[in-house]
Copies of this chain bind each other. A is one copy, B any other.
């Protein structure tokens, strides 16, 4: 009875969130410029309604009662567990602080856009100081045991801590810095210049959709549209949407689509019985990213994958017809230390994240003043990547996250990278012929394995528990480093 009441209450909040999700999707994909003002108003009203409805004492009452009721049923126990977690996250921070941060977010975001455009970090400092201060307050309300960072990270990756991140990066740092250096000093580079051109947009759209379809993104229960930045969203298992963009670099659409389709298939793979309820969808940002990176990098940048798709790619884009499989494989796996995270290759990517994590910790601890961020940033880029940003716009101003108050978010990208290899390596025990299947264009066994082990679990198990259940070990860098090193040493003949 209480469970029913809880579910009914949550279904109203779910409908409000679905409305907001669609408004966000539409804003990115179709909204005419004149719609912006009303959209902001509508989203703000609907968000407020959803937040108030969820944090109302009636939710707590229904949840308290439901928790007493479900003993023994593990699915309903899981439901209560995730609702409890969401409820605590939503109610621990005082409403006044939520409102203050929301206000600062919109101001800071605007200030960031201006500062980045005009390469003026100084003008952004007061906003950033305010944002770190409010986030620090948030963390105190959320509570933590060891490090203030833990409270923030937990919002995005349940149970993960700064110590986990430090351990992860400590293992990654040297081998990756060394691999990057080896590649730079001794590797045989292959030009990927041919990937940049004036590619037909309709063809890109058609071709990337065919790739998404091939790996198992269900277009009967989803679609792909064009947006300025690729993302995945959705409001039911039957309606999950991805976006892509078309740029001079053809890989942008191809690998972007595989990445978002990875997110999308995870969402599409929740059990139907859980649709519109709290157990449906992805369990954490790190696990979500592991699914997108698995399809983007391990599958989409593999030689086996392209042994199947290169002919159709070359038929669609004749300018690429002269490259053999081996050359093409090297072209799409070029490693180049660069300034911009979102354009980084698979090898250097985690170094970008490591830098951000170290800076976030220093800022939160107060060991470095926010005004000094550019120096720290540039030093770390020099140390880890061997390059120095010529300006702050391509340096510490490049990411939107901090202006939105998303502090403690970045490490989930690296966790996703590690986990993608960890899941893939585990899968190989059940499916030893992964390469052979990909070369046949037969992705169903791989998709089904992921669906059974991960997608269909939704939010049932906490991320750490899920990783343990699937791979029999906690998150680690072994599989990742082993896979990455083998792949790139071969590609660069080192």
Contacts and interface: CB of A to CB of B under 8 A. Distances in A.
Interface of A: 11-12, 14-16, 18-20, 22-23, 26, 30-39, 41-42, 45-46, 49, 218-223, 225, 235-239, 275-276
Given A22-B19, A22-B23, A236 B37 contact: yes
A302 B237 CA distance: 50
Given A16-B19, A32-B223, 12 more contacts: A11-B41, A15-B46, A18-B42, A19-B22, A19-B42, A22-B26, A32-B222, A33-B221, A34-B238, A35-B221, A35-B239, A38-B275
B32 A235 contact: no
Q: Which of A34, A39, A41, A218 has the most CB of B within 10 A?
A: A34
Nearest to A225: B30
A32 B275 contact: no
A22 to B, nearest CB: 6
A238 B15 contact: no
Contacts of A275: 37-38
21 contacts: A14-B42, A15-B49, A16-B19, A16-B46, A19-B19, A19-B20, A19-B23, A22-B26, A30-B223, A30-B225, A32-B220, A32-B221, A33-B220, A33-B221, A34-B236, A34-B239, A35-B238, A36-B238, A37-B275, A38-B236, A39-B239
B45 A15 contact: yes
A4 to B, nearest CB: 15
A67 to B, nearest CB: 25
Contacts of A237: 34, 38
Contacts of A276: 38, 41
Nearest to A26: B22
Nearest to A33: B220
Given A26-B22, A38-B275, A276-B38, A239 B32 contact: yes
A32 B219 contact: yes
5 closest cross-chain pairs (CB), A and B: A38-B236, A35-B239, A34-B221, A34-B238, A19-B19
A383 B346 CA distance: 77
Q: Which of A19, A33, A39 has the most CB of B within 10 A?
A: A19
A484 to B, nearest CB: 36
A37 B238 contact: yes
Contacts of A238: 32, 34-38
Contacts of A11: 41, 45
A429 to B, nearest CB: 33
Contact of A15 (B12, B15, B42, B222): B42
Contacts of A41: 11, 15, 276
A269 B160 CA distance: 53
Contacts of A26: 22, 26
Contacts of A32: 219-223, 238-239
Contacts of A19: 16, 19-20, 22-23, 42, 46
Contacts of A218: 34
A238 to B, nearest CB: 3
A235 B14 CA distance: 21
Q: Which of A11, A14, A42, A235 has the most CB of B within 10 A?
A: A42
Contacts of A220: 32-34
Contacts of A236: 34-35, 37-39
Contacts of A46: 15-16, 19
A423 B120 CA distance: 57
A276 B221 CA distance: 33
A370 to B, nearest CB: 36
Nearest to A31: B239
A18 B275 CA distance: 24
A237 B37 CA distance: 10
Contacts of A15: 41-42, 45-46, 49
Contacts of A20: 19
A12 B49 contact: yes
B235 A34 contact: no
A31 to B, nearest CB: 7
Contacts of A239: 31-32, 34-35, 38-39
A396 to B, nearest CB: 35
Contacts of A14: 42
Contacts of A36: 238
A355 to B, nearest CB: 40
